[in-house]
Structure 1
Amino acid sequence: MHSWTDTLRFAFQPVVNLATGGVMALEVLARPETGDVLAEARRDPELDSGLAVSALRAAARTETLLPFHLNVFAPTLADLGGLGPLRDAVREAGRLPWEVTIDVVPPYAHVPQKALLDAVSGLRAQGFRIGADGVGDGDLPLRLLVDLSPDLVKLDSCLLARPTAVRAMRTLCEQSGALLVVEGVETERQCALALSAGAQWAQGELFAPPARLPVADVYVPPPSPGPSFPQRSGPLLREFLRPAALLPADASAGRVRALLTGAPDVTGVLLVDRRGAPVRSVHRSRFLLMMSGRYGHALYADRPAARLGDPPRTVDIGATAREALDLVALGAGERTSDDVAVVDRDGRCVGVVRPADLVRALAETRVEEAAGLNPLTRLPGSDAITAEVDRRACDGRGFALSWLDIDHFKQVNDGAGFAAGDELIRSVGRALADAANGATRVGHIGGDDFLLLADPEALDPVVAAVLDVPWSAAGLPVTLSLATVVCVPGSVSDHRQAAARLTPLKKAAKALRGPSWVVGRADRTGHTVRRGRAASVPQAG
């Protein structure tokens, strides 16, 4: 090795889960006391590979249980075709490859892409995780980023000034199964921007600066009110990941006991096979109770810990918090507090989630949803619908957005009274909610106005439920008007554009006599009348 190894030191910076506030991993950073070893390593693949090995060994000496992130230049991987010495160092340190993430660092220019992709594929086959570092402020082509299919995408904090780009990257990460990390977060405002734009993890001086010794206590500011990245049906499971305590499937009970007694924060240990797939789950309290019983240590210490474990409860990383809690509810009652193993598309463990975190998050979601419900109909307000419109637009999915209201509603209130008018609104809301299926969202945006979001082919049953039946208020007949804009993929970028396309259709529907329904497309002019007949004079709403 070079002479710089005598003065080379390493620092550790936490990678933080923004949802739980927990430390997910430690990035190991080279800190030479003299010279510029990183500049040399950028030109010398063997030196860069040696740096990664030294970083791993330095991290292992700290005896932390946290996973590691190691930086390796992209040209190094392409030139060497992998990191054989690092694999050996991981084994010698008693760690597992899937506890190590290789952060691939720019430059990417002039790097043979096939050689780089082959090297990454080989590392992934060995169990290492892959991170794409410096995204947004480097020279990583988007096509190469997609082909790398990283487990983590690390964005430079400079992109926080362009939240649209961060949201787009979050959408890309969701499609590929990656986690989105923002690096270099220094202020609470940057942290809030990262959260609202969809980042799940972050690191930077705000949480904890690089230090010679790993730290587990970090500062995470409380979330501030404001718009957040639109979710699917509830929070995603990956938001609540915690590091998993992993041991090989054949680990002895004595080894598990040593890990648990030395790490009081660890609630359980997962035993994994050679691929990193969970095979047994060891719960802290139940395991230590058996080991501490009379003759427990003598009976079990040298035997496989798997005998004292349970079948693991696993869930895919793309699942929602609700889906994970459904899995917990179906299990045995004594296991409701057990960690749930989260696995990637290859079945390898990427972390655990604690049921308590999920229950708390869903309770907060319920409170937020309840605060947004219209007090008259108990239907969601416009925010819930527009957020879903934005998500579908970002995902490139087609949808139909509809607006419905009661014709001449002021005359209804004047002629039948406010109480009759309120009951009519409630009745229309109930009919819409009853007719809506899983693919349709109904919102009450105030007064006699409703919004419907659905797949285009799912509209007919809802329309029939409200337009093909007679309506009245205190014996006074009333009719409804409905306008629908069909948004094919790519025709609108957000709910504002969809609403702008819907506005002229609303006017066209109100100009018809009787129950009316007008349908148009966001990518075309004109409309089609599905219900209603022409009026000699346009009627005001």
Structure 2
Amino acid sequence: MPSWTDSLRFAFQPVVNLTTGGVAGLEILARPETGDILAEARRDPELDGRLAVSAVRAAARHETLLPLYVNVFAGTLADLGGLTSLHDAVREAGRLPWEVTVDICPPYTHVPQRALLEAVHAVREQGFRICADGIGDGDVPLRLLTDMAPDLVKLDAALLARPAAVRAMRTLCDELGALLSVEGVETELQCGAALAAGAQLAQGELFAPPARLPAADVYVPPRSPGLVAVPRSGPSVREFVRPAALLPATASAGQVRALLTGSPEVSGVLLVDRAGVPVRSVHRSRFLLSMSGRYGHALYADRPAAKLGDTPRTVGIDATAWEVLDVVAVGGRDRTSDDVAVVDRHGRCVGVVRLADLVRALAESRVEEAAGLNPLTRLPGSDAITGEVDRRIAAGRVFALSWLDVDHFKQVNDGAGFAAGDELIRAVGRALQQAAVGATRVGHIGGDDFLVLTDPEGLDPLASSVLDAPWSAGGRPVTLSLATVLCAPGSVMDHRDAAAGLAPLKKAAKALRGASWVLGRAGLSGFEIRRGAEDASAPAGLAVAEPGGG
């Protein structure tokens, strides 16, 4: 009698790193030639489990070194309580469990949540990584998603039409320590939307369709300059993680040589212990040079490869690109080209980063940043500040956005000359930079106008530093006006809302005599006068508090 496996084939679809353009892994997709075995597997957990095992064996036949993504229905996990047979199949294929991500697929309706969470814990304890699949188009409850604490969240591409939802999911992923991926990407427009919303990974027909053989190359659209604003603290190392070539710590030099000669794209091999923790790093060029020397093969082939390796350089998954450069900078120059191992909170290897990827990205961010600097003050323009405003809104952070300018600046230029006016603007810019501490960002948006983004606790020191200083231009005394809008989580939708809330406060500040500071709260009417004296031109219809009001 024919077996169900006789008509079953598997296809491979790359999961692409949107930052490096490299393949981060392969999702294994069942492709039955007859019948609907997936519908049967949804109803039969044992069958679904056998499909997962068959998928791993199919990948092993192609000897791919890439991480694998294996689909399993949520009901299967809850019913089986784990995937022991999959764990055994992975070991038999010569792979390590942490190289395999279990994509948990909907439906979740009627799946016992406690049993599912216990199974997820068991699978994670076996060493597998966890992916929540079908988010946005499936039925996974948000509370269950957070309780699962997946390593990866896959969104349906249809959600890209709602960028606020994707940005919110990126924020949730950051809190959970997960990566965000979009599946089903078919157009360059969707790819750009995924990047702009903060997705780190993607897959779909645009990059490479599912194929019987693992794809060696994928198409990634050119990245538009400035598409994704880079925080000053540096991009996260998560954006640059490449698959690692892993072998057990007990591997012989001959095994490492076979891997390297058969995979020219591999720049090095990490030797890991049974828990997946890197113990030695084998650099391709140095290793092959040792093996190709006189008597090299005879001396080393059967000896442990660890003898020809170095202490691995490691960074945590939450590190920034700058922190990776700090790790690379420590040690001899002969190791600057070594891959840096990226490890999770358990110390297990999740991939590697290459120095070239980091340098390229950081150089591009500096070029873009320099292009946006105001030539007079060398401060960034409004785009840098508004981009950071949007990030803080997405992160649910309270912040204060302030506008500052010189009172009657045209009269300053007319009376003291433009050179004195320019020098005054440069001095104000320097004072703001010196007062900017912690998360404070200062921008020069043109003329005598400045934007300042800070946490609420940084407002008073910043205001004092610029409003209490004796300003002058060409011997003429000058005063400044400051307007601030405090934005609590949920009070504004984006930077445009924040700017709209700032506009009437600016007008109110300019209506006061002397150095002035007006503070309001987004979504609420009225304002507080922190500095300055009222006069008859104060805006009508606004409640005015006494100076020093909290």
The TM-score, its normalising length taken from structure 2, stands at: 0.95
Q: Which residue of 1 aligns with 2:145?
A: 145
Alignment of 1:163-242 (within 5 A): 163-225=163-225, 227-228=227-228, 231=231, 233-242=233-242
Q: Which residue of 1 aligns with 2:514?
A: 514
Q: What SS does the corresponding residue of 2:500 show, helix, strand or coil?
A: helix
Do structure 1's residue 26 and structure 2's residue 21 form an aligned pair? no
The answer to whether the 8 Å contact 1:246/1:269 transfers is yes
Q: Which residue of 1 aligns with 2:103?
A: 103
Q: What SS does the corresponding residue of 1:150 show, helix, strand or coil?
A: coil
Q: How far, CA to CA, are the matches of 1:182 and 1:305 in structure 2? A: 39
Q: Which residue of 1 aligns with 2:474?
A: 474
Q: Which runs of 4+ in 1 moved over 6 A?
A: none
Q: What SS does the corresponding residue of 1:72 show, helix, strand or coil?
A: strand
Q: How far, CA to CA, are the matches of 2:53 and 2:44 in structure 1? A: 15
Displacement of 1:224 in angstroms is 2.8
Q: What SS does the corresponding residue of 2:373 show, helix, strand or coil?
A: coil
Q: What SS does the corresponding residue of 1:208 show, helix, strand or coil?
A: coil
Q: What SS does the corresponding residue of 2:16 show, helix, strand or coil?
A: strand
Displacement of 1:536 in angstroms is 4.1
Q: What SS does the corresponding residue of 2:280 show, helix, strand or coil?
A: strand
Q: How far, CA to CA, are the matches of 2:523 and 2:345 in structure 1? A: 37
Summarize the Cα distance change of 1:167–1:94 in structure 2 as closer, same or farther, 3 Å threshold.
same
Q: What SS does the corresponding residue of 2:5 show, helix, strand or coil?
A: helix
Q: What SS does the corresponding residue of 1:104 show, helix, strand or coil?
A: strand
Q: What SS does the corresponding residue of 2:427 show, helix, strand or coil?
A: helix
Q: Which residue of 1 aligns with 2:40?
A: 40
Summarize the Cα distance change of 1:538–1:414 in structure 2 as closer, same or farther, 3 Å threshold.
farther
The answer to whether the 8 Å contact 1:413/1:421 transfers is yes
Displacement of 1:534 in angstroms is 2.0
Q: How far, CA to CA, are the matches of 1:536 and 1:39 in structure 2? A: 76
Which deviates more from structure 2 when the two are superposed, residues 70-79 or residues 465-474? 465-474
Displacement of 1:465 in angstroms is 2.1
Q: Which residue of 2 aligns with 1:504?
A: 504
Paired letter, 1:430:
R
- 1:56-108 deviations in whole A, cap 9, x for unaligned? 00100101111111100110000000111111111111110011111001110
Q: What SS does the corresponding residue of 2:358 show, helix, strand or coil?
A: helix
Q: How far, CA to CA, are the matches of 2:357 and 2:253 in structure 1? A: 28
- 1:209-230 deviations in whole A, cap 9, x for unaligned? 1111111111111113564366
Displacement of 1:332 in angstroms is 2.2
Q: How far, CA to CA, are the matches of 1:81 and 1:2 in structure 2? A: 30
Q: How far, CA to CA, are the matches of 1:399 and 1:116 in structure 2? A: 39
Q: What SS does the corresponding residue of 2:21 show, helix, strand or coil?
A: coil
Which deviates more from structure 2 when the two are superposed, residues 31-40 or residues 341-350? 341-350
Q: What SS does the corresponding residue of 1:331 show, helix, strand or coil?
A: coil
Q: What SS does the corresponding residue of 2:78 show, helix, strand or coil?
A: helix
Paired letter, 1:157:
A
Paired letter, 2:275:
R
Q: What SS does the corresponding residue of 2:109 show, helix, strand or coil?
A: coil
Q: Which residue of 2 aligns with 1:56?
A: 56
Do structure 1's residue 116 and structure 2's residue 89 form an aligned pair? no
Identity %: 78
Which deviates more from structure 2 when the two are superposed, residues 367-376 or residues 514-523? 514-523
Do structure 1's residue 364 and structure 2's residue 364 form an aligned pair? yes
Summarize the Cα distance change of 1:345–1:490 in structure 2 as closer, same or farther, 3 Å threshold.
farther
Q: What SS does the corresponding residue of 1:20 show, helix, strand or coil?
A: coil
Q: Which residue of 2 aligns with 1:397?
A: 397
- 1:349-375 deviations in whole A, cap 9, x for unaligned? 111110110000000000000111111
- 1:94-146 deviations in whole A, cap 9, x for unaligned? 11001111100111000001111111111111110111111111111111111
- 1:421-468 deviations in whole A, cap 9, x for unaligned? 111111111111122113211100111010111111122332222111
Q: How far, CA to CA, are the matches of 1:153 and 1:300 in structure 2? A: 43
Q: Which residue of 2 aligns with 1:381?
A: 381
Displacement of 1:503 in angstroms is 2.0
Displacement of 1:319 in angstroms is 1.6
Q: Which residue of 2 aligns with 1:244?
A: 244
Paired letter, 2:90:
V
Summarize the Cα distance change of 1:496–1:302 in structure 2 as closer, same or farther, 3 Å threshold.
same
Q: Which residue of 1 aligns with 2:296?
A: 296
Q: How far, CA to CA, are the matches of 2:34 and 2:164 in structure 1? A: 41
The answer to whether the 8 Å contact 1:231/1:391 transfers is no
Q: How far, CA to CA, are the matches of 2:54 and 2:488 in structure 1? A: 53
Q: Which residue of 1 aligns with 2:285?
A: 285
The answer to whether the 8 Å contact 2:229/2:384 transfers is no
Paired letter, 1:309:
G
Q: Which residue of 1 aligns with 2:545?
A: none
Paired letter, 1:140:
V
Q: Which residue of 2 aligns with 1:81?
A: 81
Q: What SS does the corresponding residue of 1:60 show, helix, strand or coil?
A: helix
Q: What SS does the corresponding residue of 2:519 show, helix, strand or coil?
A: strand
The answer to whether the 8 Å contact 1:167/1:229 transfers is no
- 1:233-292 deviations in whole A, cap 9, x for unaligned? 222211111100011122111111111111111001111122212111111111111122
Q: Which residue of 1 aligns with 2:544?
A: none
Q: Which residue of 1 aligns with 2:547?
A: none
Q: What is the aligned length?
A: 539
Displacement of 1:523 in angstroms is 5.0
The answer to whether the 8 Å contact 1:374/1:446 transfers is yes
Summarize the Cα distance change of 1:2–1:30 in structure 2 as closer, same or farther, 3 Å threshold.
farther
Which deviates more from structure 2 when the two are superposed, residues 499-508 or residues 79-88? 499-508
Paired letter, 1:37:
I
Q: Which residue of 1 aligns with 2:268?
A: 268
Q: Which residue of 2 aligns with 1:343?
A: 343
Which deviates more from structure 2 when the two are superposed, residues 523-532 or residues 71-80? 523-532
Q: Which residue of 1 aligns with 2:68?
A: 68
Displacement of 1:504 in angstroms is 2.2
Do structure 1's residue 327 and structure 2's residue 312 form an aligned pair? no
Displacement of 1:19 in angstroms is 1.1
